[in-house]
Structure 1
Amino acid sequence: MQPILQSLEALQGDLREALAQQDWEAIGALDLRCRELVGEVGKSGDSALREPVEALSQLYAELQLTARQERERIASELTRLNQSKQVSRAYESLG
């Protein structure tokens, strides 16, 4: 159990750091590692690991919220860029 607990704690720290830096590639790689580790926790059936897994679940909720906000920010930025291009084209066709 101890190695799994240490791995959960390390993974949570790595995910928090990647989230703080908004390093989406690292988060994607850590997500795969997380899935494998949670699978191991499920196989172990150790109830002592419940709390760290719940903390990891809360972190995932935070990651999802941040990712959704970032996606919306980028979509908004792309919309503004597209509108600017359309306006520019309209002016070019008049000139």
Structure 2
Amino acid sequence: MNTAIQRFDETRDALLSALGERDWEAIGKLDETCRGCIDDMLTADVVDEAQIKAKLEGLLEVYRDLLDATIGERQAIATEMSQINQAKSAAKVYHLFS
């Protein structure tokens, strides 16, 4: 059980680090690894339910932060795309009158 929890903690820490760096590829891989870590913790012979609950609640906070970051990134991209489209429209108008 201790190795499952240690692996879980290491994966969660790596996920936080990747989130801080906005390394979306690493986040995708770590998400898959995290799912395996959860399965390992839940199927371990000795289960301390209180500890697992605390670990999962902590992970939930990480995923909330991740969701907030992805929403922010998506909004930034949408804003940038809107500005690009406005610039293209302005360029077309400029070419019509030049």
Would the TM-score normalized by the shorter structure come out above 0.5? yes
Instruction: Write the distance in 2 (CA, Å) between the matches of 1:32 and 1:52.
Output: 17
TM-score of the aligned structures, taking structure 1 as reference length:
0.91
1:1-95 aligned at under 5 Å gives the runs 1-44=1-44, 46=47, 47=49, 48-95=51-98
Code of the aligned partner of 2:37: L
Number of residue equivalences: 95
Instruction: Write the distance in 1 (CA, Å) between the matches of 2:40 and 2:8.
Output: 11
Structure 1 unaligned blocks of 5 or more: none
Stretches of 4+ aligned residues off by more than 4 angstroms: none
TM-score of the aligned structures, taking structure 2 as reference length:
0.88
User: Cα RMSD (Å) of the superposition?
Assistant: 1.4
User: Per chain length, whose mean CA-contact separation is higher, i.e. which structure has more relative contact order (CA < 8 Å, sep 6+)?
Assistant: 1
Structure 2 unaligned blocks of 5 or more: none
Q: Percent identity?
A: 29
